[in-house]
Amino acid sequence: MSRHLEQSRVPKTKEHLSRSIGAMFAHEIYIHKAVGKGLARVFFREFEEREKAGAGGDVEFRFNDIVYFFAVAAASGVIGNLAYDALKHALAVVRKPRLEHGAASFSLVVRRRTYERLREKKYPKDKPVNDSAEVMSELEREYDLIVAITFKWRKKENMRAVHHKPSSK
């Protein structure tokens, strides 16, 4: 089984379940919108197909949030004409691995060959740039939306579950 798969957390009470369902639903909608179309979808689908092939074919996955972030980051890099290595460096600056569940590598999720092919298709005559404040700002925003907010929400839910005392009747 892939180390990039998400582990489920089961809410402890009906109140937690209600909050959890709403937050999970909102998160799933955001993920679907983030990687469900455009360039991010190309990167995500390529990774998903490799994972499916490695697992024997006809399977479905729920990946760790960082995998979705990498697909969105690669799309932002292509749109900003950012060199692949410059994007990897920008990701090293933006990421906070302690917020991420599991480990993942950008190079494993987004292949250099695919990235460069799409970047060169969009900018056939331009050399890639090595720095972009716009792309960096976009990466920080997307990281917060996909990874950091989810971590903060889960941490708060886990703290509530630990400190919850059933009422005695």
Task: Using pLDDT thresholds of 50, 70 and 90, give the confidence band for residue 152.
Answer: low
Residue type, 3: R
Residues sharing a CB contact under 8 Å with residue 156, sequence separation 6 or more, in sequence order: none
Q: What are the CA-CA distances from residue 118 to residues 11, 13, 53 (Å)?
A: 42, 47, 23
**What are the tokens at 21?**
């369902």
pLDDT digits (tens, 9 = 90+) for 96-150: 887 777 678 899 999 999 999 999 999 999 999 998 899 999 999 988 887 766 6
Give the start-to-end residue ranges of the domains of the chain.
Answer: 14-153
